[in-house]
């Protein structure tokens, strides 16, 4: 599972960080950072993070 975030769309709402804290976080500058190839066991979390992104900036590629 590959997680792709369109940083041109991202507006730092942080909803993904709440939904999948093992995959998404804010770095020290307040920019979104994420694990590009998380473990398959985190798929449900990542799907939820993609759903709750207000900008629909998160995509899962298999």
Partner 1 sequence: MNAPIVVAGAAMAGLRAAEQLRAAGWTGPITLVGSEPHMPYNRPPLSKEVLAGKASFDSLAFRPRPDVHDVRWRLGTTVVRADLDRQVVELDDGETLPYRGLVVATGMRPRRLPCPGPVPGRHTVRTLDDARGLREALTRPGVRVVVVGAGFIGCEVAATAIALGAAEVTVVDPMPLPMAGPLGELLAGALLGRHEQRGIRFALGTGVTAFHGDDRVTGVALADGRVLAADVVVESVGSAANTEWFEGNGLDLSDGVLTDEHLRVGGRPEVIAVGDVARFPNARYDGVPRRVEHWSIPTDTAKHAAKVLTAHLTGTDAGLAPFAPLPTFWSDQHDFRLQSFGAPALGKDDVRVLDGDLDGDVLVGYHHADRLVGVVALGGRAAAAAAARYRAELLKQPSLIA
Binding site for partner 1 (CB under 8 A): 9, 11-15, 17-18, 26, 30, 44, 47, 50-52, 54-56, 59
Q: Using the minimum distance from each CB to partner 1, give the nearer residue, 9 or 22.
A: 9
Q: Tokens in use for 8?
A: 């041109």
- Inter-residue contact 20 to 49 (CB < 8 Å): yes
What minimum distance in Å lies between the beta carbon of 57 and partner 1? 10
SS3 assignment, position 5:
strand
What minimum distance in Å lies between the beta carbon of 60 and partner 1? 9
């Amino acid at each position: 599972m590959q997680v792709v975030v369109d940083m041109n769309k991202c507006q730092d709402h942080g909803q993904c960080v709440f939904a999948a804290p093992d995959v998404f976080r804010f770095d020290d500058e307040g920019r979104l950072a994420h694990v590009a190839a998380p473990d398959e066991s985190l798929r449900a979390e990542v799907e939820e993070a993609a759903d709750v992104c207000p900008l629909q900036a998160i995509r899962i590629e298999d």
